[in-house]
Amino acid sequence: MGAVRGAARRPQKAVPPMHATLDTVPATPAVRFQGVARHFGAIRAVDGVDLSIAPGEFFAMLGPSGSGKTTCLRLIAGFEQPDAGHIEIFGETVEGLPPYRRAVNTVFQDYALFPHLSVGDNVAYGLRVRGVARAERARLAREALALVKLAGMETRRPAQLSGGQRQRVALARALVVRPKVLLLDEPLGALDLKLREEMQSELKGLQRALGLTFVFVTHDQGEALSMADRVAVFNEGRIVQVGPPEEVYERPATRFVAGFVGSANVLEPAQAAALGGAARVSSLRPEKIVLLAPGAPAPEGTGVVEASVTDVSYQGPVRRVAVRDARGLALVVAVPAGAGTVALGQAVRLAVPAGALQPMEGEP
C-alpha cells in the first residue's frame, strides 16, 4: 500500500524543459522502459523492450499488427502491467499504478467517447472526477473544445458528430486534464485520406504549440515518418530500430525495417561488394538507383548493373520498375516520370551510387 499512497497526488515537481534536442536525452526522460516484458499466455506481446522518450518529443511506435506497439502504449497508460522490467514516467516508477494515478492520457483508436454524455460533459469528465466545480469545468471544457476547433459543440451528443469531430473531442478530453504525456492509439486509422492528412498537420502543430510529449502508435509508415521526431520500429514484441525518420528510412538496421519502412532493396554481402559497397547485408532505396540512357557512360563512383525489366507498375510521379540481371540480382527501381520509357523485357543499364548502399547494422 505504501507505494500507492506515495503516488497518491500527482507529482508536483517542475515540468522539465520541453524542447530537448534529439541527440541529448535529458536525465529525466518522459517515458523510460527497461527490459519491459508483457506476456499473454504463450504469446510474448512485449518481449524485453528498452525505450527512452524525451520530454516534448513526438514519438512514433511503428509496426505491423501484433508487433507489441499497442501493448507498449497500454503499459504506459496503465491498462496493462508488465510481467518483467521497469517503467518510469518523468522519473516516477509506475509499475502497479492504476491508470487513474498516472499523469498520462490516451486518445483511443475508437475514441471511446461516453455515449450517454454530451460533448461538453465528455470533455469535462476528467475534471468532474477530480472535483472541479461545475462552472469552472464548463469553462475549461469550452476552451479545450475551442483549441481543437469545435467551439460551440458542447451540447451535441457524440452520436451526432462525424468521425473527424469525434477524434477532436477525444483529443480535447485528454488534453483538458493536462497530461504530461499524451498517448494516441492509431489516432488517424478510422479517418479517410483527406481528413487524415489534415489531422496529421494539426496534431503536429498542436504538439509543437503545447510542447507536450506525444507518443503515438501506428502501422502506417508514411504517418510515422511525416509526423514523428523519432520512430521506434517494432517487430515480434521487440524494438528493432529507433531513430529520427530520415535515419530509419535511409539506414534501416535490419531486413525487416528495410522491408516494412518504404520497401528497400536488400542486397546480400557479395552483391553489395560487387557494386562497390561493403561486404555486408545492405539496403538500397529504389529512388537512389539511376536509370542510364542507352549508351550513356556511368558517372564516377557508381556500380553498374546490366539487367532486363521484369515488371513495371505506374504510380503517378514514379514508375516502379522491377529488374533482374544475369547473376540473379533482383532490384526495384523508382524511375521518375519523364525519365524515358521502360518496357517489359527491355535491357537497361542502372547506376548505383556507392553511397546509396547502406550496410545494415542489425544484420551479420
Nearer to other proteins, 117 or 304 (CB): 117
CB 275 within 8 A of CB 359: no
- The least CB distance from residue 79 to other proteins, in Å, is 5
Q: Collect all residues with Cβ–Cβ distance below 8 Å to 52 and sequence separation of at least 6.
A: 25, 29, 31, 32, 33
Q: Is 39 in the site for other proteins (CB under 8 A)?
A: no
Q: Among 181, 212, 232, 335, which residue interacts with other proteins (rule: CB under 8 A)?
A: 212
Nearer to other proteins, 136 or 361 (CB): 136
Nearer to other proteins, 113 or 356 (CB): 113
Span of 8-16, 214-222, 266-274, 351-359 interacting with other proteins by CB under 8 A:
8-16
CB 276 within 8 A of CB 357: yes
- The least CB distance from residue 193 to other proteins, in Å, is 21
Q: Is 78 in the site for other proteins (CB under 8 A)?
A: yes
Taken in order 334, 336, 342, 344, the sign of the CA dihedral is: positive
Give me 18's grid cell: 520541453
d(CA 293, CA 310): 18
The site for other proteins, by CB under 8 A, has a size of: 54
Q: Is 86 in the site for other proteins (CB under 8 A)?
A: no
Q: Among 6, 35, 64, 98, which residue interacts with other proteins (rule: CB under 8 A)?
A: 98
CB 85 within 8 A of CB 35: yes
- Where on the phi/psi map is residue 234: left (φ > 0), alpha (ψ -120 to 50), or beta? beta
Span of 202-210, 218-226, 256-264, 336-344 interacting with other proteins by CB under 8 A:
202-210
Q: Among 101, 238, 280, 349, which residue interacts with other proteins (rule: CB under 8 A)?
A: 101
Nearer to other proteins, 204 or 238 (CB): 204
For residue 24, what are the CA distances in angstroms to 19, 20, 262, 277?
Answer: 11, 7, 27, 31
The C-alpha torsion from 318 through 198 and 23 to 251, rounded to 10°, is -20
Q: Among 28, 34, 52, 109, which residue interacts with other proteins (rule: CB under 8 A)?
A: 109
- The least CB distance from residue 125 to other proteins, in Å, is 5
Q: Collect all residues with Cβ–Cβ distance below 8 Å to 201 and sequence separation of at least 6.
A: none
- The least CB distance from residue 360 to other proteins, in Å, is 38
The C-alpha torsion from 110 through 111 and 112 to 113, rounded to 10°, is -140
Q: Among 21, 116, 328, 341, which residue interacts with other proteins (rule: CB under 8 A)?
A: 116
Site for other proteins in 128-187 (CB under 8 A): 128-132, 140, 143-144, 146-147, 158-159, 173-175, 177-178
Span of 29-37, 65-73, 209-217, 242-250 interacting with other proteins by CB under 8 A:
209-217
Span of 113-121, 267-275, 290-298, 352-360 interacting with other proteins by CB under 8 A:
113-121
DSSP 249-301: HHS-SSHHHHHHTT--EEE-HHHHHHTTS-SS-EEE-GGG-EEEPTTPPPPTT
Nearer to other proteins, 64 or 96 (CB): 96
- The neighbour count for residue 222, using CB atoms within 10 Å, is 13
Cα-atom radius of gyration of the chain, to the nearest Å? 24
Q: Is 126 in the site for other proteins (CB under 8 A)?
A: yes
Locate the DSSP E strands across the chain: 31-40, 43-53, 58-62, 84-89, 92-93, 104-107, 181-185, 213-218, 230-235, 238-243, 265-267, 282-284, 290-292, 302-315, 318-325, 330-336, 347-353, 358-359
Q: Is 25 in the site for other proteins (CB under 8 A)?
A: no
Nearer to other proteins, 135 or 209 (CB): 209
- Strand 43-53 versus strand 31-40 pairing type: antiparallel
Nearer to other proteins, 107 or 351 (CB): 107
- Contacting residues toward other proteins, per CB under 8 A: 1, 4-5, 8-10, 12, 15, 18, 77-79, 81, 96, 98-101, 104-106, 108-110, 112-116, 125-132, 140, 143-144, 146-147, 158-159, 173-175, 177-178, 208-212
